[in-house]
Amino acid sequence: MLNILCVRWGDKYDHTYVDKLLKQVKNNCSVPFKFYCLTDNPQTDYDIPLPNIWDKHYIPERNAFWAYRKCYMFNEMHFPQIGGDNFLYLDLDILIHQDLKYFNDLPYGKPYIVRGWWNDIENCRKNFGKIKSTPLNSSVIKWNRGELLRVYNDIEKNAEVIFFTYPTIDNYFNHAWYNPWKEDEGYLRGYPKGDIYSWYKGNVFPDDMDAWKLRKDHKICLFNNSANGGDEHMYDIAELDHLW
Amino acid sequence: MVDHLKFTPSTLKDWMRSWREIMKERPWAADRVGNSFTESQLIGKMWIAEELKKIGGTKHVALLGGWFAHFTCSLLFEEVGVSTVTNFEIDHDAHFISFKFNRRYKEEKKYRSIRRNVMTIGLSGVETFEKVKTTEPQWDVVINTSCEHMFPMRKFRELNPQLKDCLYVLHSTDDDQYDDHINCVGSPQELADQANITDIKFMGEKVLPNGMRRFMVIGR
Which one has a higher pLDDT value, A20 or A11?
A: A20
pLDDT reported for residue B85: 98
**Average pLDDT of chain A?**
94
pLDDT reported for residue A231: 75
Is A125 within 8 Å of B29 when comparing Cβ atoms? yes
Q: Is the pLDDT of residue A187 over 80?
A: yes
User: Which DSSP state fits B120?
Assistant: T
- From chain A, pick out residues whose CB is under 8 angstroms from the CB of B26: 125
Q: Is the pLDDT of residue A57 over 90?
A: no
pLDDT reported for residue A165: 93
pLDDT reported for residue A227: 57
Measured between CB atoms, which of B90, B93, B179 is closest to A125? B93
- pLDDT category, A65, cuts 50, 70, 90? low
pTM comes to 0.94
Mean pLDDT value across residues A106-129 = 96
Instruction: Quick: pLDDT tens for A6-16.
Output: 999 988 899 99
Q: Is the pLDDT of residue A181 over 70?
A: yes
For chain B, domain boundaries = 9-219
Measured between CB atoms, which of B28, B150, B180 is closest to A130? B180
- From chain B, pick out residues whose CB is under 8 angstroms from the CB of A168: none
Mean pLDDT value across residues A223-230 = 69
ipTM score for this prediction: 0.93
Q: Is the pLDDT of residue A61 over 80?
A: no
Is A126 within 8 Å of B31 when comparing Cβ atoms? yes
pLDDT reported for residue B31: 96
Is A158 within 8 Å of B119 when comparing Cβ atoms? yes
Q: Is the pLDDT of residue A85 over 90?
A: yes
**How many of the other CB atoms lie within 10 Å of CB of B169?**
25
pLDDT reported for residue A62: 73
pLDDT reported for residue B189: 98
Instruction: For chain A, give the secondary structure using H, E and C.
Output: CEEEEEEECCCCCCHHHHHHHHHHHHHCCCCCEEEEEEECCCCCCCEEECCCCCHHHCCCCCCCCHHHHHHHHHCHHHCCCCCCCEEEEECCCEEECCCCHHHHHCCCCCCEEEECCCCCHHHHHHCHHHCCCCCEEEEEEEEECCCCHHHHHHHHHCHHHHHHHCCCHHHHHHHHHCCCCCCCCCCCEECCCCCEEECCCECECCCECCCCCCCCCCCEEECCCHHHCCCCCHHHCHHHCCCC
- From chain B, pick out residues whose CB is under 8 angstroms from the CB of A122: 27-28
Mean pLDDT value across residues A19-45 = 97
pLDDT reported for residue A161: 95
Mean pLDDT value across residues A166-173 = 93
Is B182 within 8 Å of A132 when comparing Cβ atoms? no
- pLDDT category, A60, cuts 50, 70, 90? confident
Tell the CATH topology of B9-219. Rossmann fold (3.40.50)
Show the low-confidence residues of chain B (pLDDT under 70).
none
- From chain A, pick out residues whose CB is under 8 angstroms from the CB of B94: 129
- pLDDT category, A226, cuts 50, 70, 90? low
- pLDDT category, A229, cuts 50, 70, 90? low
